[in-house]
Amino acid sequence: MAGSRMRQAHGNETRELIVATAERLFAEQGVAVVSNRQVSEAAGQANNFAVGYHFGTKADLVLAIVRRHAPSIEQRRAAMLAATKGSSDLRDWVACLVRPQTEHLASLGSPSWYARFIAQVMTDPAFRRIVTAESAESASLQGIIEEVKRLMPVLPEEVRAERSDMGRLLIVHTCAERERALHEGTPTPRATWEDAAVGLVDALVGLWRAPFTPTK
C-alpha cells in the first residue's frame, strides 16, 4: 500500500515536471518544432517516451498545460462575473475578460512562460481549436461574453467577427510581449500587470466603439 502511494506520488511529480518543462520549451521555441522526445530529455527523463507514457499525444500535453492554469483563471473570472453582475458599463465587462488573465500572470512571478505559450498555441490551427474548445466549457467566460455582446455597439456581423478576432489577438500578444520583456529585463510600457490590464481594457473598449467603414 505504501509502495503504491509512493509510486503514485512519484508519477505525479514526473507529470508536473514534464508539464512545466513543456510549457517553457513551447513558449521559447514554438509548439510545432519541439518534439515529445525533446521535452522528455529536457525534463531529465531517462525514458525518451515519457511524454507519451504519461500524457499520450502532443495535443494531450498542450491540454494538460492549459488545465494546469485554468483553475486559477476560472476562479478569478467567476468572482469578477459575480461582482459585475447588473453593470451596464461595457468597460466593466471587458475588464472581466482581461483581468483574470493578467492577475493570474502576475501571480506566477517572473520568469513565467504561460502567456508566450498561449501565443504560440494560438498560431497553430489544430492546437488553437483545442484551447478554444476548452475555453468554451467555461460557463463564466460564456456569461461574460454574452454581457459584452449585449452592451457593444450595433455592428454588422462581419465587423463584429473581425473585432472579436482582433480583441483576442490583442489580449494574447500584449500579455506575451510583456511576459517576454519581464523575462529579458527590458522596459515595459506599463509598470505592473494591473496597469497593463488598464491599458488593455482601454484599447479593447476603443476597438469595439470605433466607427466602421461600410464596404461594397
Please tell me the predicted confidence (pLDDT) of residue 54.
86
pLDDT at residue 214 greater than cutoff 80: yes
pLDDT at residue 115 greater than cutoff 60: yes
CATH of 58-209, one of 1.20.120, 2.60.120, 3.90.105, 1.10.357: 1.10.357
Please tell me the predicted confidence (pLDDT) of residue 53.
86
pTM: 0.91
Q: What is the pLDDT of residues 145-166, one digit of tens each?
A: 999 999 999 999 999 999 999 9
Please tell me the predicted confidence (pLDDT) of residue 9.
46
Q: What is the pLDDT of residues 30-41, one digit of tens each?
A: 999 999 999 999
Could you state, in order of their start, the residue ranges of all structural domains in the chain? Answer: 58-209
Q: What is the pLDDT of residues 176-203, one digit of tens each?
A: 999 999 999 999 999 999 999 999 999 9
- Write out the chain in H/E/C secondary structure: CHHHHHHHHHHHHHHHHHHHHHHHHHHHHCCCCCCHHHHHHHCCCCCCCHHHHHCCCHHHHHHHHHHHHHHHHHHHHHHHHHHHCCCCCHHHHHHHHHHHHHHHHHHHCCCCCHHHHHHHHCCCHHHHHHHHHHHCCCHHHHHHHHHHHHHCCCCCHHHHHHHHHHHHHHHHHHHHHHHHHHHHCCCCCCCCHHHHHHHHHHHHHHHHHCCCCCCC
Across 124-150, average pLDDT? 93
Please tell me the predicted confidence (pLDDT) of residue 80.
97
